[in-house]
């Protein structure tokens, strides 16, 4: 089913034309007065951004609703950092309280390294520290990023990408496509939360035409908070699944949370939906009037469909979309991400042939189906993160492997599943067996449930509580022609195994 690029009046003049700010909802009007949910989980996504524009300390204080102490208000700020180790002369250092460290403990180091001013929270003694005191530094960072984005690039359009899986890959693919025609600023790495969104907005310049950012959540209320800062003109849904279900209680609750990105879309905006995602009705109902809707998926009843899909190995796939043949460096399970990029590019008037050429340049991403060859052993590192949906997608990718006896999986804990953790880990163990796999190394306290179900299904299973104990076993097990696949949540750090194998495996195989 082919369609033409969007041609309605709502999309005319999208690029290089300023528009008035249309974020006038009650939530946004009161945002500056509302505290962020006290239970927000903060990832210590440390960063430093060089500012395109220069601001005075006084301007920053107004932007973050702060009070200046022990520094000239006329002093110039040229960058923003949350990492005292990477502060440069002229920076403002924002003291964020993270999971393991409190930035307030490093304000002295930041000043020594050249910071002009520190943005800190009220209620502490600072003894002459050049500072702007605020109620909450995390909120202040968001205010500062929004201020810079509006001041520097008020004309720039924003694309927000949300979902339980595939956000980072989709973001990278959309950026590849849009860079064919527009000046793009995209979120670094997988930055997508209250600490991760500001670096993206702080990197925009006056030439930025599109801002592309992931918008993630693991607590209720987070998407609305981030959406108010990003102010998306385009919202993209990848797929709803079980990631972070421990904080929400159900996948439908997750859908309602992520739908907040769509509720804020302005008239004339664009909603790009995976038509095959669970709870798609929640998103359709959340979209305001005057917003265009474009759907994509593997079924035929969508605007952008994949046809004649053919996997070429486990990390390359051919398919046809909008009458053009594509070949991308993605496993079959991630073709939806490519379709989302095709939909966005097509809606913005990029010829399908140019979209095809852009996607053909995608080389993959670190720790996402990343392949390393060691003396005839293939290592597939897909251990950047994991949840039940991405685990079963991984199994589908390898289900057609011609010799499952040569496959070894290292599977670790899937975190933030709450009361559902045992059940979902056991389901992954059963799915492992159902896919016909025979050799498993399970790592972590929760992964023992995967191991138990796999053993019941007849698989050969090894179990370790800690990742540090795994490499020695694998060195003894692996033989030329084997394929080793690793996947777990980020905090499990399975990449340590890959590094150990790089050092130990060559000599072991040649012995």
Q: What is the DSSP string of 231-269?
A: --SEEEE----STTGGGTSSHHHHHHHHTHHHHTPPTT-
CA 123/CA 116 separation, integer angstroms: 21
Q: Cβ atoms within 10 A of the Cβ of 117, count?
A: 28
Q: Does domain 370-510 have CATH number 3.90.190.20?
A: yes
> What backbone torsions phi and psi does residue 102 show, to the nearest 5 degrees?
-115, 120
Low-confidence ranges of the chain (pLDDT < 70): 1-45
Q: Of 446, 445, 443, give the one whose Cα is nearest residue 421.
A: 446
Query: What is the fold of 39-137?
Result: 3.40.1390
> What backbone torsions phi and psi does residue 504 show, to the nearest 5 degrees?
-95, -30
Residue 293's pLDDT is 98
Q: Does domain 153-359 have CATH number 3.90.650.10?
A: no
Residue 192 · residue 167 · CB < 8 Å: yes
Q: Cβ atoms within 10 A of the Cβ of 100, count?
A: 5
By three-state DSSP, how is residue 15 classified?
A: coil
In the chain, residues under CATH classification 3.40.1190.10 are 153-359
Residue 160 · residue 225 · CB < 8 Å: no
User: In the beta sheet, which residues pair with residue 463?
Assistant: 442
Residue 2's pLDDT is 38
User: Structure pTM?
Assistant: 0.87
Q: Could you identify the residue written with the tokens 């057609």?
A: 400
- Give how far the C-alpha of residue 323 lies from the chain's centroid of Cα atoms, to the nearest Å: 30
In the chain, residues under CATH classification 3.90.190.20 are 370-510
Residue 45's pLDDT is 63
Residue 191's pLDDT is 85
> What backbone torsions phi and psi does residue 334 show, to the nearest 5 degrees?
-110, 10
In the chain, residues under CATH classification 3.40.1390.10 are 39-137
Q: For Cα atoms 502, 506, 509, give the angle at the middle one, nearest 5 degrees.
A: 130
Q: Where are the beta strands (DSSP E) in 329-472?
A: 370-374, 377-381, 407-412, 439-443, 460-464
CA 25/CA 31 separation, integer angstroms: 10
């Amino acid at each position: 089913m082919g369609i033409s690029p969007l041609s309605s009046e709502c999309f005319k003049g999208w690029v290089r034309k300023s528009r008035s700010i249309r974020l006038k909802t009650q939530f946004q009007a009161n945002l500056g007065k509302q505290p962020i949910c006290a239970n927000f989980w903060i990832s210590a996504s440390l960063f430093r951004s060089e500012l395109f524009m220069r601001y005075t300390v006084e301007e920053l204080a107004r932007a973050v609703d702060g009070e200046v102490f022990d520094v000239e208000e006329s002093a110039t700020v040229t960058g923003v950092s949350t990492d005292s180790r990477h502060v440069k002369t002229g920076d403002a250092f924002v003291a964020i309280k993270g999971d393991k460290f409190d930035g307030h403990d490093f304000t002295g180091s930041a000043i020594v390294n050249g910071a002009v001013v520190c943005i800190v929270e009220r209620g502490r003694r600072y003894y002459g520290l050049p500072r702007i005191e605020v109620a909450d530094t995390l909120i202040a960072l968001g205010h500062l990023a929004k201020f810079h984005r509006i001041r520097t690039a008020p004309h720039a359009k924003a694309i927000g990408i949300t979902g339980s899986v595939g956000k980072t890959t989709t973001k990278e693919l959309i950026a590849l496509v849009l860079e064919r025609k527009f000046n793009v600023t995209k979120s670094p790495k997988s930055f997508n939360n209250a600490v991760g969104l500001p670096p993206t907005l702080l990197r925009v310049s006056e030439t930025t035409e599109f801002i592309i950012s992931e918008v993630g959540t693991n607590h209720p209320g987070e998407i609305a908070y981030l959406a108010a800062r990003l102010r998306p003109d385009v919202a993209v849904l990848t797929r709803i699944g079980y990631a972070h279900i421990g904080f929400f209680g159900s996948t439908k609750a997750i859908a309602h949370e992520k739908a907040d990105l769509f509720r804020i879309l302005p008239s004339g905006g664009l909603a790009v939906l995976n038509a095959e995602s669970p709870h798609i009705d929640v998103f359709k109902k959340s979209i305001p009037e005057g917003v265009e809707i474009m759907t994509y998926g593997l079924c035929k009843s969508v605007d952008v469909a994949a046809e004649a899909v053919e996997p070429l190995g486990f990390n390359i796939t051919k398919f046809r979309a909008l009458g053009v043949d594509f070949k991308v460096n993605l496993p079959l399970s991630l073709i939806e991400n490519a379709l989302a990029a095709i939909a966005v590019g097509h809606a913005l008037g990029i010829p399908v042939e140019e979209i095809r050429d852009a996607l053909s340049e995608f080389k993959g991403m670190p720790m996402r189906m990343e392949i390393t060859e060691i003396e005839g052993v293939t290592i597939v590192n897909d251990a950047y993160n994991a949840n039940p949906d991405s685990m079963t997608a991984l199994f589908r990718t390898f289900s057609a492997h011609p010799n499952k006896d040569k496959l070894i999986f290292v599977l670790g804990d899937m975190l933030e599943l709450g009361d559902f953790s045992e059940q979902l880990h056991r389901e992954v163990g059963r799915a492992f067996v159902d896919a016909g796999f025979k050799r498993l190394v399970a790592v972590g306290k929760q992964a023992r449930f995967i191991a138990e179900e796999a053993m019941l299904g007849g698989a050969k299973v090894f179990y370790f509580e800690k990742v540090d104990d795994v490499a020695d076993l694998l060195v003894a097990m692996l033989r030329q022609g084997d394929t080793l696949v690793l996947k777990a949540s980020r905090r499990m750090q399975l990449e340590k195994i890959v590094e150990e194998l790089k050092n130990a495996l060559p000599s072991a195989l040649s012995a």
